[in-house]
């Protein structure tokens, strides 16, 4: 049995595991202590001081988030002294904060505003410091806006960027009254190592870090009679969108989402799942081709392990941090970009629409997708392949703006073409999903049999462990793949860039010997993406992942190569995986970026 300590909070005795904090213990008792800098995903900072409580016998108040529960401790969370102190702390934060709430993107979704409201702050106790501050707003990134006037210096973003993502694009600069959250040499976010992952946005308690929103541009396109506006929705949006519209975490809202998009006025409601399946065809074939070149042809110019390339946060990370490994990346574009390139070629031809009139919108769980869409190389259709990338959150805003009663909407289906999905495509949204989908298809291509896992569920690659490994032995392969007979296909999965860093270091040191590695930039994969509803916690991500796998199990078709529209596009348009046309539209290349 674990060691426990006994403490008393507000007169109630509780026994908690040793090492738990006073805040943890209070939570177990359902005693609410306000917090700001505290976040379940991050190490304890103890710097905002909102969570102070009174400890009997202690001279000063203690920060409950940082104070370990100790035997015999007597804590009071609701005394006059505590209330006054918290009030002062919030008043101080407000005095440094640009509290022009009606002009803030986070209005009504701000943790500081919530606290101010709870404390009924009608007039400010202290002088306004904002006019003297010369705060700056950095709007230059395609993905993230950083507004220092809203910052409360809680350093959640700094800890996120450093601990979860191993990027450290954001850090603390200066001291005292000048102290601020900044970047290397205070360069704009677009010009530093920022991967645009948006994990900081997910954790910022105020409006200091927000996604660059394209809501008005999407409305303008919808209302423009001369345009044909199509929309694609990423796998992970359908299990998270409901959270921003009053539903529980883990609600599957695929049908309602399709219905709401139609109501918003999109001309065609399509699915990124289609190109997720296409990715599996292209990437799976690429993997097998690479393995042949390495194992049979002994071609040393071909690199393994091959890394997945669906996550634009991961792509930018490797471009900055491990440029020597760019040749290990699959050349496949991400599903969003494959979709974009096909929308203005294949789709335009099939539907007989002038591609110049198509506005291609994507709904993504991701902020890095905005940057990806704007990459100059993503114009293979002859136009910008994806015109506007918006997050799950932005879609929720549009649904509210349109007055749609989301929860009451009947389920509707996606349009066709480019709207067909499979279970394999859906699980792209969770860490390990691309690997599982790829294995389901690649194994079958090589052996002619289904993957040898019960009900197609490859549980070894599922879960929330930071790095997971799985080995699949290829036996009794088809004659065309005889070189793979007996090969143990070694795979690994990492999510969150700190884990990606860990796996890259192992590969660099020669300690890891994989054939295929899936990396997702965000914790939990796209379900925990930087564009998903706020808040995010391990528990919420677990529920979203469960929903993803429920959705997979409920699908009629669960293997990418069985997607009828995928089969059709190869027949009608692309020919075969890795064909010239595929290379032209579906594959790309990467760039070394500076590491500052």
Partner 1 sequence: MDKKLKRVDLIFSEECVCKDVLTTSLKKSNDDILKDILDSGLRGRGGAGFPTGLKWKFTAQETSEEKYVVCNADEGEPGTFKDREILSRVPLKVFGGMAICAKIIGAKHGYVYLRGEYQFLKAELEKALVEFHATIKELGFDFQIHILMGSGAYICGEESALFESMEGKRGEPRNKPPYPTIAGFRNKPTVINNVETLVYAFMICRIGTEKFMELGTTDSRGSKVFSISGDTPIAGIYELELGMSLEDFVEDFGDGDTKAVQVGGASGFCVPRKKFKDTIIGFEGVPTGGSMMLFNSSRSMYNVLKNYVEFFEEESCGQCTPCRVGCQQLKIGIEAVKKGEKSVHYLDTLQKLADTMKVTAKCGLGQSVANSFSSIVDNFKEEMIY
Active site residue 286: yes
Q: Does residue number 176 form part of the binding site for partner 1 (CB under 8 A)?
A: yes
CB 308 within 8 A of CB 503: no
The answer to whether residue 505 forms part of the interface with partner 1 (CB under 8 A) is no
Number of residues forming the site for partner 1 (CB under 8 A): 39
- The residues near 10 (Cβ < 8 Å, ≥ 6 apart) are 29, 31, 75, 76, 77, 78
Does position 187 bind partner 1 by CB under 8 A?
A: no
- The catalytic residue among 377, 450, 539, 576 is 377
Question: CB under 8 A: which stretch of 4-12, 61-69, 218-226, 239-247 binds partner 1?
Answer: 61-69
| Segment interacting with partner 1 (CB under 8 A) among 77-85, 160-168, 371-379, 407-415 | 77-85
Which residue in the set 108, 178, 352, 405 belongs to the binding site for partner 1 (CB under 8 A)?
Answer: 178
Q: Where are the beta strands (DSSP E) in 347-421?
A: 358-364, 388-391
Q: Which stretch binds partner 1 (CB under 8 A): 26-34, 52-60, 203-211, 394-402?
A: 52-60
- Of 239, 301, 226, the closest CA to residue 541 belongs to 239
Contact pick of 7, 14, 31, 48 for partner 1 (by CB under 8 A)? 48
Angle between helices 215-223 and 392-401 (to 10 degrees): 60
Q: How far is the CB of 480 from partner 1 (least distance, A)?
A: 56
Distance CA 242, CA 319 (A): 34
Kindly state whether residue 23 participates in binding partner 1, applying the rule CB under 8 A.
no
Q: Is 397 in the site for partner 1 (CB under 8 A)?
A: no
Total residue count of the chain as it appears in this document = 596
Give the one residue of 7, 23, 69, 89 binding partner 1; rule: CB under 8 A.
Answer: 89
3-state helix, strand, coil in the chain (%, to 5): 45, 15, 40
Q: Which of 14, 23, 152, 458 forms a contact with partner 1 (CB under 8 A)? A: 152
Among 80, 175, 473, 509, binds partner 1 (CB under 8 A): 175
96: contact with partner 1 by CB under 8 A: yes
Q: Do the Cβ atoms of 451 and 476 come closer than 8 Å?
A: no
Give the separation between CA 474 and CA 461, rounded to whole angstroms.
Answer: 17
Instruction: Tell me if 170 contacts partner 1 by CB under 8 A.
Output: no
Stretch that binds partner 1, among 62-70, 242-250, 455-463, 507-515 (CB under 8 A): 62-70
Active site residue 369: yes
Selected range binding partner 1 among 166-174, 237-245, 382-390, 571-579, rule: CB under 8 A: 166-174
Cβ pair 282, 425 in contact under 8 A: no
Among 15, 40, 56, 81, binds partner 1 (CB under 8 A): 81
Question: 587 has which bridge partners?
Answer: 332
Active-site annotation holds for 372: yes
Residue 105 CB neighbour total at 10 angstroms: 18
Question: Of the residues 283, 319, 436, 444, which is catalytic?
Answer: 283
Contact predicate 503/512, CB 8 Å: yes
Given the rule CB under 8 A, which of 91-99, 108-116, 288-296, 564-572 is the region that contacts partner 1? 91-99
1, 2, 11, 60: which one contacts partner 1 (CB under 8 A)? 60
Contacting range for partner 1; rule: CB under 8 A; set: 83-91, 184-192, 365-373, 444-452: 83-91
| Contact flag: residue 42 with partner 1 (CB under 8 A) | no
Q: Which of 65, 151, 204, 310 is catalytic?
A: 310
SS3 15: strand
Q: Does 63 bind partner 1 (CB under 8 A)?
A: yes
Which residues lie closer than 8 Å to 108 by C-beta, 6 or more apart?
Answer: none
Quote the CA–CA distance of 143 and 508 in Å, as a whole number: 30
Check if 283 is active-site: yes
Nearest residue (CB) to partner 1, 45 versus 507: 45
What are the DSSP E strand ranges found in 407-501? 467-473, 488-495
Task: Say whether 310 is catalytic.
Answer: yes
Of the residues 8, 20, 29, 46, which one makes contact with partner 1 according to CB under 8 A:
46
How far apart are CB 299 and partner 1 at their closest, in Å? 44
Q: Does 455 bind partner 1 (CB under 8 A)?
A: no
DSSP-derived secondary structure for 103-138: G-TTTTS-HHHHHHHHTT--S-SS---GGGS---EE
**Residues 13, 18, 126, 591: which binds partner 1 (CB under 8 A)?**
126
480 binds partner 1 (CB under 8 A): no
Options 23, 75, 85, 439; binder of partner 1; rule CB under 8 A? 85
Give residues with Cβ within 8 angstroms of 251, minimum separation 6.
239, 242, 243, 547
82 vs 8: CA distance, rounded Å? 17
Question: What is the SS3 assignment for 214?
Answer: coil
Q: How far is residue 21's CA from residue 302's CA, in Å, rounded to a whole number?
A: 51
Q: Which residues of 401-434 are buried (b: 16+ CB within 10 A; e: fewer)?
A: eeebebeebeebebbebbbbbbbbbbbbbbbbbb
Does 174 contact partner 1 by CB under 8 A? Answer: yes
**Binding to partner 1 in span 261-280, by CB under 8 A:** none
Q: Which stretch binds partner 1 (CB under 8 A): 110-118, 136-144, 174-182, 446-454?
A: 174-182
Is 526 among the catalytic positions?
yes
Out of 526, 551, 560, 565, which one is annotated catalytic? 526
**Binding to partner 1 by residue 185, rule CB under 8 A?**
no
Which contiguous run of DSSP H or E holds residue 344? none
Q: Where are the beta strands (DSSP E) in 348-466?
A: 358-364, 388-391
- At 171 the three-state DSSP class reads strand
Which residue, 46 or 463, is less far from partner 1 as judged by CB? Answer: 46
**157 binds partner 1, rule: CB under 8 A:** no
CB of 48 to partner 1, least distance (A): 6
Q: What is the 3-state secondary structure (H, E, C) of 60-103?
A: CCEECCCCECCCCCEEECCCHHHHHHHHHHHHHHHHHCCCCHHH
Is residue 76 involved in binding partner 1 (CB under 8 A)? no
Q: Which of 146, 212, 344, 369 does the annotation list as catalytic?
A: 369
Q: Which of 15, 78, 79, 84 binds partner 1 (CB under 8 A)?
A: 84
User: Which residues of the chain form contacts with partner 1 (CB under 8 A)?
Assistant: 44-50, 52, 59-61, 63, 66-68, 81, 84-85, 88-89, 92-93, 95-96, 125-127, 129, 152-153, 155, 171-172, 174-179
Q: What is the set of active-site residues?
A: 283, 286, 310, 330, 369, 372, 377, 526
């Amino acid at each position: 049995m674990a060691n426990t300590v006994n403490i008393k909070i507000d007169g109630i005795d509780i026994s908690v595991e040793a090492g738990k904090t006073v805040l943890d213990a209070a939570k177990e008792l359902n005693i609410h202590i306000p917090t700001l800098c505290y976040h379940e995903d991050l190490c304890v900072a103890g710097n905002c001081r909102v969570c102070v409580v009174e400890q009997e016998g202690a001279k000063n108040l203690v920060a409950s988030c940082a104070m370990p529960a100790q035997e015999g401790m007597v804590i009071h969370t609701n005394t006059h002294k505590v209330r006054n102190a918290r009030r002062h702390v919030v008043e101080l934060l407000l005095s440094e904060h640009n509290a022009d709430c009606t002009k803030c993107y986070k209005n009504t979704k701000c943790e500081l505003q919530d606290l101010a409201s709870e404390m009924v702050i009608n007039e400010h106790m202290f002088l306004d410091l904002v006019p003297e501050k010369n705060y700056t707003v950095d709007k230059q990134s395609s993905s993230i806006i950083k507004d220092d006037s809203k910052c409360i210096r809680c350093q959640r973003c700094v800890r996120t960027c450093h601990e979860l993502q191993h990027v450290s694009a954001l850090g603390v600069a200066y001291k005292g009254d000048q102290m601020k959250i900044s970047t290397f040499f205070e360069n704009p976010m677009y010009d530093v190592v920022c991967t645009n992952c948006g994990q900081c946005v997910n954790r910022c308690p105020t409006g200091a870090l927000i996604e660059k929103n394209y809501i008005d541009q999407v409305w303008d396109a919808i209302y423009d009679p001369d345009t044909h506006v199509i929309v694609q929705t990423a796998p992970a949006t359908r299990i998270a969108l409901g959270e921003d519209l009053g539903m529980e975490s883990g609600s599957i809202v695929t049908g309602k989402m399709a219905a709401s998009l139609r109501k918003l006025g999109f001309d065609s409601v399509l699915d990124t799942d289609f190109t997720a399946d296409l990715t599996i065809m292209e990437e799976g074939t690429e993997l097998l081709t690479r393995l042949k070149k390495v194992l049979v042809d002994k071609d040393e110019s071909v690199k393994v392990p091959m890394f997945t390339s669906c996550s634009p946060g991961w792509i930018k990370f490797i471009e900055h941090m491990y440029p020597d490994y760019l040749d290990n990346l699959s050349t496949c574009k991400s599903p969003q970009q494959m979709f974009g390139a096909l929308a203005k070629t294949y789709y335009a031809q099939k539907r007989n629409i002038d591609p110049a009139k198509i506005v291609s919108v994507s709904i993504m769980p991701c902020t890095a997708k905005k940057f990806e869409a704007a990459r100059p190389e993503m114009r293979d259709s002859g136009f910008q392949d994806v015109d506007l990338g918006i997050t799950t959150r932005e879609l929720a805003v549009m649904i509210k703006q349109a007055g749609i009663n989301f929860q009451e909407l009947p389920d509707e289906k996606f349009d066709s073409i480019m709207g067909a999905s499979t279970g394999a495509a859906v699980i792209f949204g969770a860490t390990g999903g691309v690997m599982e989908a790829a294995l389901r298809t690649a194994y079958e291509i090589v052996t002619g049999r289904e993957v040898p896992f019960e009900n197609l569920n490859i549980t070894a690659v599922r879960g929330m462990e930071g790095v997971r490994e799985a080995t699949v032995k290829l036996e009794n392969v088809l004659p065309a793949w005889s070189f793979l007979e007996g090969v143990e296909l070694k795979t690994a999965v990492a999510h969150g860039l700190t884990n990606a860093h860990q796996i890259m270091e192992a590969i660099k040191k020669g300690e890891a010997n994989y054939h295929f590695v899936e990396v997702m930039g965000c914790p939990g994969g796209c379900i925990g993406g930087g564009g998903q509803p706020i808040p995010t916690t391990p528990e919420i991500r677990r529920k979203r992942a469960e929903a993803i796998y429920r959705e997979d199990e409920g699908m009629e078709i669960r293997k990418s190569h069985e997607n009828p529209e995928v089969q059709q596009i190869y027949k009608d348009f692309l020919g075969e995986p890795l064909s010239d046309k595929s290379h032209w539209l579906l594959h790309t290349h990467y760039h070394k970026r500076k590491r500052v």
